[in-house]
Amino acid sequence: MTKLYCCKTSYICRCSRRRLVTGARSQSRVRLEPCRQSAPSRPFFFRNLIRSKIASKLRMVCGPKYDGKYLRALLRRHLGDTTLDRALTNVVIPTFDIAYLQPTIFSTFELKYRPAKNALLSDISISTSAAPTFFPPHYFETKDENGRRRAFNLVDGGLAANNPTLCAMNQVSQDIILGNDHFFPVEPVDYGKFLVISLGCGSNRNRRYCAKAVAKWGIFDWLFKNGTAPIVDMFNSASADMVDIHLCVLFHALRSSENYLRIQLPCKCSTID
């Protein structure tokens, strides 16, 4: 998640899995709680654990690991019929449209020019969490002021921007170019007046691979290995780090390195699960 401040105006930019912070933060009094289940007896628990792992691997070969029904029901219940234009703060949420093979970014700023993107926050949150191989893609439709329909076939925003910091900065720059009074007299590339806080969702750098071992991998090993998806983890880590490297150099070159902070904590779990 990226928090960007410019002239007392803030933007929250968020994509992908883990915690759906943006969707919750855009509506007051929303608390997403994990599903709690009672623990069964130990022998029964381990027997079911082995069965569930085998079933999970088989499901990932034939379809997504999770059906997403619980997540969708949870978001529908908490976010209700709240649309993007009713967000309490400026938000930028990237997704990826598989019908057009291009990113689709939902932004409160863009609603003035693209009203067809005024979708339900629940639909947007489900879409940006639909990580391939883990959750199914999400389809929904919206209507513009003339009643024309717009169809969306969306998956995880991490495919387009696993580190969405640049998305937030681009949206603010576009807003400045089009003359938003909140940013006067800031120039579109006056990053010295930007304050960017980028929060990563955790990185597992302990999971490393050896070239000799990977040389023997086939397509299934790249897609699924020891409960993870190595190629997905590699793409996600690489794209996120490239954005961080670019912004570090950019802010340093503009003598504003103190205006950019990236926080990424280590974690023991998969970068996507």
pLDDT tens per residue across span 97-148: 999 999 999 988 888 888 889 999 999 999 999 988 789 999 999 988 788 8
C-alpha atoms less than 13 angstroms from C-alpha of 40 in its C-beta half-sphere:
7
Residue-wise pLDDT for 23-76, tens only, equals 545 555 455 455 444 344 445 445 565 556 556 666 666 778 888 899 999 999
The rounded distance, in Å, linking the Cα atoms of 3 and 264 is 14
Tokens of 217: 């991998």
pTM of the predicted model as reported, rounded to 2 decimal places = 0.74
Beta bridge partners of 167: none
Tokens of 82: 């709240």
Q: Which of 43, 18, 3 is nearest to 269 (CA)?
A: 18
Element (H, E) at 155: strand 149-155
The rounded distance, in Å, linking the Cα atoms of 51 and 42 is 14
Percent of the chain residues past pLDDT 90, beyond the cut: 22
